[in-house]
Amino acid sequence: MRNPTINPAKPAARAGFGLSLKGRALRLLSGREHSRAELERKLKAHEETPGQLAQVLDDLQAKDFISEARVVESVINRRAARFGASRIKYELLNKGLGAEAVAEAVNSLKASELERARDIWRKKFDGPALDAAGRAKQMRFLAARGFGGDVIRRVVAQTEDD
């Protein structure tokens, strides 16, 4: 028997159903920093009239809810301890950030690249590899993390000169 208090014409409530475009954007921004390009990509399907999304994003940007500098800072804080500058650069570019902001962030990461690579290497490996295959494995690991060739060679060879 059907429950008479439930309206069958009304769809079941689910996360995000009925939210305005601005509400959806704020929900995304409450979880983490998003670039304008990310929000455009995620919210484009929910735009009801042409130009509505651009207007909402302009409003949020004017109120400083969307900030390119905070997105860069957030990514660096989350990723720098685990990845090299080239991997972080790739992630920043995929977020649709400006080339100048990305270049500035990468330059700031380059200063600490060797020390970060050494820390990551120490956490993963017990010590220097005993053979060429072991060194190759260590080099591939660091390369996959986004470190440059010069830094990788210095870490795997265990040279302490900077």
- Tell me the pTM: 0.78
Q: Please give the share of the chain, as a percent, with pLDDT higher than 70.
A: 86
Spatial separation of the C-alpha atoms in residues 108 and 124, rounded to whole Å: 25
**112-162 matches 21-66 in CATH topology:** yes
Residue 94: its pLDDT value, please?
A: 94
Spatial separation of the C-alpha atoms in residues 86 and 89, rounded to whole Å: 5
Where do the domains of the chain lie? 21-66, 67-111, 112-162
- What's the whole-number mean pLDDT along residues 18-40? 92
Spatial separation of the C-alpha atoms in residues 155 and 162, rounded to whole Å: 11
Positive or negative: CA dihedral 41, 46, 51, 53: negative
In this predicted structure, the answer to whether residue 27 has a pLDDT above a threshold of 60 is yes
Average pLDDT taken over every residue of the chain: 88
Kindly indicate the confidence band of residue 2, based on its pLDDT and cuts at 50, 70 and 90.
Answer: low
CATH topology for 21-66 is Arc Repressor Mutant, subunit A (1.10.10)
Instruction: Supply the Cα-derived Rg of the chain in whole angstroms.
Output: 23
What is the CATH number that goes with domain 112-162?
A: 1.10.10.10
In this predicted structure, the answer to whether residue 98 has a pLDDT above a threshold of 70 is yes
In this predicted structure, the answer to whether residue 125 has a pLDDT above a threshold of 50 is yes
